[in-house]
Chains A and B, each alone.
Chain A
Amino acid sequence: MEFKEIIGRRRSIRFFDPKRPVEREKIQTILETARLASCAVNAHWLRAVVVERDKIPPEKLNQLKTPVAALTLDLAPVHIYFFVDLGIVNKIKGSRLKELVDVGALAPSHGWSHKFVDDFVYPQILEPMTRNLEGYVPAAFADAGGAAQNALLAAFDEGLGACLNTPNPMLTKQVLGVPDDWLPMWVMLLGYPAESWEAGGQRPRPDFEELYFEGEYGKPFKRDPAVVEKLKAANMIQAPAPLPGRREEIKKLTEELGLPE
């Protein structure tokens, strides 16, 4: 699928086919995309624990359920728990940044050298940053979020459906036995959609000009209708929800899966 169409087809899928397993190859492909995401100082904060619903003991699965995501955890055959490894910066101490120098991604032309990393970047910026949790934690989460977004899009490229949910932080750490300095970020529920791929249509979004500005705040970035048409032709901008028949689709799924109306 073309990139723009993947963006366009992504929806938060909440009706999964509970009986159709996800191929291991597809799970690996999804994780591979997260690994290749853009990453500040090449630190790679994102970690993941893949849980197969039918392989985890039921009592542990129940502990992982939150009030809002109990049903989707039952429906989705695969749950990928994403964590942020806050300890990584002080474990690698700038070494991965120096790898970027070694491979020519960071060059002296832009001021980079091993000595700059060893004398300045790690001791004077990165290490102190990890002690300022108010700034460090959101930055690490933002970085890991970008990697998780790669994974999310990859799921749709693989013909799957996915939905990000917020896990219970304490119980998730405890049940999955992760190190103390890993913080839970999201659980990506994964499976084949039981609903149509359109899932009722593209979700409502705020107006473009409400979100983006040009030059300064208050001056909206003008949206060119010709570009919009081009993106429609590329299947990135699609028919908005609700599509005709969505109500009937939900009713059918509700009955088939035995859910409240």
Chain B
Amino acid sequence: MALDKPIADYETVQTWRGGLSEQWGEEPDMTVRTSALERFCEFAGKDPDVLIAECTREVESGKRIRIKARREFSEKIAEFQAASGGSAREQQKLGNTIRSFFIHNGIFMQAGLSG
């Protein structure tokens, strides 16, 4: 699935960048990160904003996380990293890059030690 604009222009990618910058106190190099996310978007068949939007829903009291969608994307990330080739460490790092995108967009996600 081709994105309809440069990945850095998606609001959720900007939120991710802002979150990393705030967390680590320095401007993050997004090249490798966005390249990994772009591959995941291709894998999932959705653009970055849709990935996040599908994990949440609006209710009267505010925003809620869709548990089922969050779990499905968590599994999708595990599939993605397993299918990516490379060493276990590299696979884990790739998966964690995608998890970081979700986390900084407010979608709670943990990898576990097994990645």
Contacts and interface: CB of A to CB of B under 8 A. Distances in A.
Contacts of B96: 258-261
Contact of B113 (A68, A258, A261): A258
Nearest to A255: B93
A257 B111 CA distance: 11
Nearest to A257: B113
B92 interface: yes
Interface residues of B, number: 22
A259 B70 CA distance: 18
B58 to A, nearest CB: 21
Interface string A102-143: 000000000000000000000000000000000000000000
Contacts of A74: 112-114
Nearest to B70: A67
A259 B115 CA distance: 8
Contacts, number: 46
Interface residues of A, number: 15
29 contacts: A18-B113, A65-B112, A67-B67, A67-B108, A68-B108, A68-B110, A70-B110, A71-B113, A74-B114, A75-B113, A247-B24, A247-B25, A251-B24, A257-B113, A258-B92, A258-B93, A258-B96, A258-B111, A258-B113, A259-B96, A260-B96, A260-B99, A260-B100, A260-B103, A260-B110, A260-B111, A261-B20, A261-B24, A261-B100
Interface of A: 18, 65, 67-68, 70-71, 74-75, 247, 251, 257-261
